[in-house]
Structures are given as structure tokens and as C-alpha cells.
Amino acid sequence: MALKTLDRAIESQTWLDRVAGPVQQVVSRAIQPGPIGTPLRDVLDGTWLGHPLHPALTDVPVGAWTTAFLLDALSYLPFGRRVRAGADLAIGLGVAGALGSAVSGLADWSYTRGPSRRLGIAHGLTNVAATALYAGSLALRRGGNRPLGRGLAALGYGVVLLGAYLGAELAYRCGIGVHHAAFEQGSTDFVGVLPEAELREGQMRRVEAAGMPVLLTRWGGTIYAIGDTCAHLGCSLAEGTLEGDVVTCPCHGSQFRVTDGEVVRGPAAFSESRFDVRVVNGQIQVRRAEPACL
């Protein structure tokens, strides 16, 4: 209950927008579509990985600093001198990993608005504070003041846990970095969705198949069907633009091939669901080509 109250308190702090706005503009300009921005965005968003990059990178600092916390605890035992070097190495690895995690996290956060943007900037500032504490701890250790260094690291670990909690809230409550069509089931049996005569060459139509939004496209004389909900943040692909066999999401510019649903350009990291298509008695019918996750 206390943590939920903390979430709501952070999300209501409109003054955070004065910090978040300028930072978000800088990040958005750096990864805007272009010769440099497009490949940079695809790398940071995890498009090449088929999975958001940020959650994978966060395991490095959290894991390293957890190891350091345990080794610092063991250092109080009689054999403690033997584990000091390991604790220091783990802290240094965590600081390096935090930098990469921060860059990829900024890319994910750059698409947020309102309360989730405030929660995200608080998450980022918390992790900056934790990284600073660990960097200070490492400097103190190397300078010979190990007791104070251990104290800073212990404080830093508490801040890390708070930052991890806020990051989980962003992912699992606000839906940042998750597949926004993951729970759309569709049907594994053919379902009629549209008269064939109503779909022209080069046209996109949003239809529903057993309650699941589907994007129909006729390209090169062939009818294709993929999921209509953009996996990135849930916008309708049918409201976007079609160039050749590639549809561009109207919200954040993610691109998918309409022939198979594969990602062409981020920020989306997940492909769209693909549907089998047939025409029976002038009616377009579709069925999901692969089962849903649930």
C-alpha cells in the first residue's frame, strides 16, 4: 500500500514535467528517423533483438550490485579479506552496466506522456543516484576508506531496489516495453471478415476476427492479414501509411511488412501476428497462423 501511494504521489508531481520535457526533447531528436537516428533507435529499442533491450541490460547492474552486497556482507567474516577484490570488481561492473542500461532506458522512456513520463523520470533519477553512490563507494575503497565505501554501497543498493520497483511499475502497470497485442487471441478457425470487393489494391482495412483487430491489405494482387494493434504502444496500424509492402504506424513510426508482420523499423521490437487468408464465395476469411501466448 505504501509503495502504491508512492507511485500516485510521483505521478501527481507536475513539476517533474519541467525536468522531463527538455530531456525527452533531446533524446527524441537524437533517435528521430534519419541516417543516424534510425539505426540508433533500432539498436536501443531492441528491434534487432526481437525483444526490448533495456530489461536485458538492467540485469547487469542489478546482478553485479547484488553480488557486491553479498560479498561486502561476507567481508566481515574472518576470511573477509579474500572477497574484497570481488566486491570491488562487481561494483565497477555494475557502474559500467548502468550506463548502457540508462541509454536504452531513455530511448524507451522518450515515447511516454503524462503520469508514465513522470514515473519514468523518477525511475531514471533514482538510478542515477544509485550509480553515483556506487561510483563514490568504489572511489572510497580505492582510497583506503573501505568502511565508508561499504556504507555507501549498502545505501546505493536500497536505492537500486526502489528504482527497480519503479521500473517494474512502468513495464507491468503502464505497459512500457511490453507487447501491446499479447492478449489478443483471434481464432485458429477461418472467420469471415470482409467482402473481397471492398478491398482495393493498395488499400488497408481494419476488421475484426473473433474479437481481434486485424489489418487487411491487398498488395500485388494478393490479400494479406496481420495484427492491427501496433506491438509498441497499441496504436492502430490501419490509420498509418502503406508504401509497397510496408505499413508505418501513425504514432511512433514503427514499420512492419504486411506480408508476414515482421518488424522493418523500430521502435517496435515485437512482430505482428500473421493470419492465413482465403476467399470463399466472395468473402475474405482469415485465421491466426500461429497460436496466441495464452
| Digit-coded pLDDT (tens) for 233-252 | 999 999 999 999 999 999 99
Taking alpha carbons only, the member of 181, 200, 185, 188 closest to residue 285 is 188
The verdict on residue 178 lying in a domain is: no
Residues 163 and 206 in one domain: no
Residue 33: asked if its preceding bond is cis (omega within 30°), the reply is no
The verdict on residue 182 lying in a domain is: no
151-174 in b/e form (b: 16+ CB < 10 A) is ebbebbbebbebbbebbebbeeeb
Q: Sort residue 3 into left (φ over 0), alpha (ψ -120 to 50) or beta.
A: alpha
| pLDDT at position 186 | 86
Q: What is the pLDDT of residues 82-139, one digit of tens each?
A: 899 999 999 999 999 999 999 999 999 999 999 999 999 999 999 999 999 999 999 9
Domain boundaries, position 19 = 2-173
The verdict on residue 183 lying in a domain is: no
Residues 11 and 135 in one domain: yes
Q: Which parts of the chain have pLDDT scores under 50?
A: none
**What DSSP character marks residue 34?**
S
d(CA 166, CA 121): 10
CA separation (Å) from 111 to 21, 28, 107, 177? 11, 8, 8, 10
Residues 226 and 200 in one domain: yes
Residues 160 and 262 in one domain: no
Q: Which residues pair with 243 in a beta bridge?
A: 246
Domain count, the chain: 2
The verdict on residue 195 lying in a domain is: yes
Pairing of strands 241-243, 222-227: unpaired
- The pTM score is 0.88
